[in-house]
């Protein structure tokens, strides 16, 4: 019903515009040419068909800011040839196995992994390396087992870290991922999408999910969300790397 009302309003508007244009043209050229009126039902049918053919484009005109950000973050901009700088948190004794699972899978599928490190400072080292060497068109892929707002702000396109902002302005993209039993700040119903606590490195962050969307950060979460859906959690890196690969052509 809403769609029909919308189409009717558009039709009436087009009729008014068409009538005004034709009348103005007739007066200006002083012609006696008879105006040809298009039946209303035919005009509505044409508009309906145009709407059907261009539904995606029309829909985008009425999306929310969040949906617009998702559209603008379309994964079609990613390709396998772009260098990937990967770093992950220290999780437990099988860290190297998790890293190798992710890196080997990416390389088997033809991705260009140029760096893969483990450790609490390796993520910041990644950012610093891209900054120091003025690297562009790369992908920063960081994997965490817990949410620290500072690691999000550091790589936000409008974040509070000058080095990170410059890295982002050089055309580098960021994918932040969380697994194991981390709080979920990515998925719509995650317990951390509205608020996550700060740490010794920085204050808490409200609406981290929206913050990432607004700052062109792509988030992935395959965690248990603190045990709320433990059977779905990723403890090996396999689910995380599969989600990462979905971002590419």
The lowest-confidence range among 26-35, 113-122, 158-167, 180-189 is: 26-35
Given a contact cutoff of 8 angstroms between Cβ atoms, the answer to whether 85 and 139 are in contact is: yes
Which residue, 210, 194, 110, is CA-closest to 156?
Answer: 210
| Contacts of residue 145, Cβ cutoff 8 Å, sequence gap at least 6 | 89, 91, 178, 179, 180, 181, 182, 223
Q: What is residue 108's predicted lDDT score, i.e. its pLDDT?
A: 97
Which residue, 234, 138, 116, 231, is CA-closest to 186?
Answer: 234
- The domains of the chain, with CATH numbers, are 2-62 (no CATH), 77-245 (3.40.50)
Residue range 97-155, pLDDT digits in tens = 999 999 999 999 999 999 999 998 899 999 999 999 999 999 999 999 999 999 999 99
Residue with tokens 């580098």: 172
Residue with tokens 């090996």: 236
Where does the pLDDT of residue 14 fall: very low under 50, low under 70, confident under 90, or very high at 90 and above?
low
Per cent of the chain over pLDDT 90 is: 63
**Spatial separation of the C-alpha atoms in residues 150 and 148, rounded to whole Å:** 5
Strands (E), 25-134: 83-88, 112-118
Is the pLDDT at 24 greater than 60? The verdict is: no
The lowest-confidence range among 1-10, 67-76, 186-195, 235-244 is: 67-76
State the average pLDDT for the chain.
80
Given a contact cutoff of 8 angstroms between Cβ atoms, the answer to whether 69 and 98 are in contact is: no
At 142 the three-state DSSP class reads: strand
**Spatial separation of the C-alpha atoms in residues 171 and 168, rounded to whole Å:** 6
pTM score = 0.70
Q: What is residue 249's predicted lDDT score, i.e. its pLDDT?
A: 75
Furthest-apart CA atoms within the chain: distance in Å: 89
Where does the pLDDT of residue 191 fall: very low under 50, low under 70, confident under 90, or very high at 90 and above?
very high
Q: What is residue 59's predicted lDDT score, i.e. its pLDDT?
A: 29
């Amino acid at each position: 019903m809403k769609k029909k009302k919308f189409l009717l309003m558009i039709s009436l508007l087009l009729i008014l515009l068409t009538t005004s244009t034709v009348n103005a043209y007739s007066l200006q050229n002083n012609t006696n040419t008879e105006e040809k009126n298009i039946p209303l039902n035919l005009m509505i049918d044409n508009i309906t068909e145009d709407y059907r053919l261009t539904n995606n484009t029309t829909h985008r005109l009425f999306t929310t800011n969040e949906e617009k950000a998702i559209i603008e973050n379309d994964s079609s901009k990613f390709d396998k040839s772009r260098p990937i700088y990967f770093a992950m948190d220290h999780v437990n004794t099988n860290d190297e196995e998790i890293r190798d699972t992710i890196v080997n899978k990416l390389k088997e599928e033809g991705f260009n992994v140029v760096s893969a490190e483990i450790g609490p400072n390796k993520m910041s080292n990644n950012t610093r390396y891209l900054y120091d060497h003025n690297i562009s068109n790369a992908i920063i892929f960081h994997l965490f087992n817990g949410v620290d707002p500072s690691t999000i702000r550091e790589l936000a396109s409008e974040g509070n870290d000058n080095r990170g902002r410059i890295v982002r302005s050089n055309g580098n993209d960021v994918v932040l991922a969380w697994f194991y039993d981390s709080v979920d700040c990515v998925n719509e119903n995650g317990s951390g999408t509205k608020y996550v606590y700060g740490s010794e490195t920085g204050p808490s962050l409200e609406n981290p999910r929206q913050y990432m969307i607004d700052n062109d950060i792509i988030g992935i979460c395959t965690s248990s969300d603190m045990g709320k859906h433990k059977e779905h959690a990723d403890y090996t890196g396999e689910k995380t790397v599969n989600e990462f690969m979905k971002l590419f052509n």
